[in-house]
C-alpha cells in the first residue's frame, strides 16, 4: 500500500509541476518556471509579446467550475501560468487582474 501511495504522489507531482511566474521589470521580460520530476523548465517572453491576461473557466470531474490564468501572446498562443486548475472565481480573478495591471495589458474574464 505504501508503494502505491508513493507512486500516486509521484504521478501527481509529475502531472502538476510547481509553477512560478517571474516578472523582470528591468529587462522587461516575463517568464514561467516549472519544476517537477522531469527537472526545471523555463519559458520566457518580452513583456511586449503579452497581449492580455485571460481567466479561463472549465469544469472539474464533478461538474464544478475551475479556473486558470493564461497569458495571451502576440503569436496567438495562450500559456497557462499554472497547470493546476483552481476552485473559486474570486481569488483567481484577483490574481489575474493584478498580473494584468503589473504587465500593463488588458484583462479578459471567462465568459
The pLDDT of residue 79 is 95
Q: Which domains occur in the chain, in start order?
A: 17-108 (2.30.29)
The pLDDT of residue 7 is 56
3-state secondary structure the chain: CHHHHHHHHHHHHHHCCEEEEEEECCCCEEEEEEEECCEEEEEEEEHHHEEEEEEEEEECCCCCEEEEEEEEECCCCEEECCCCCEECHHHHHHHHHHHHHHHCCCEECCC
Q: Is the confidence at residue 98, as pLDDT, over 90? A: yes
Q: Is the confidence at residue 30, as pLDDT, over 80? A: yes
63-85 average pLDDT score: 94
5 against 10, higher pLDDT: 5
pTM over 0.75: yes
Amino acid at each position: 500500500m505504501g508503494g502505491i501511495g508513493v507512486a500516486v504522489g509521484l504521478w501527481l507531482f509529475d502531472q502538476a509541476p510547481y509553477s512560478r511566474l517571474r516578472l523582470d521589470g528591468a529587462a522587461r521580460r516575463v517568464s514561467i518556471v516549472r519544476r517537477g520530476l522531469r527537472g526545471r523548465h523555463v519559458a520566457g517572453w518580452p513583456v511586449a509579446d503579452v497581449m492580455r491576461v485571460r481567466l479561463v473557466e472549465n469544469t472539474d470531474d464533478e461538474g464544478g467550475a475551475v479556473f486558470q490564468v493564461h497569458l495571451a501572446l502576440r503569436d496567438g498562443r495562450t500559456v497557462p501560468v499554472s497547470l493546476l486548475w483552481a476552485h473559486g472565481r474570486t481569488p483567481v480573478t484577483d490574481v489575474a487582474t493584478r498580473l494584468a495591471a503589473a504587465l500593463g495589458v488588458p484583462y479578459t474574464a471567462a465568459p
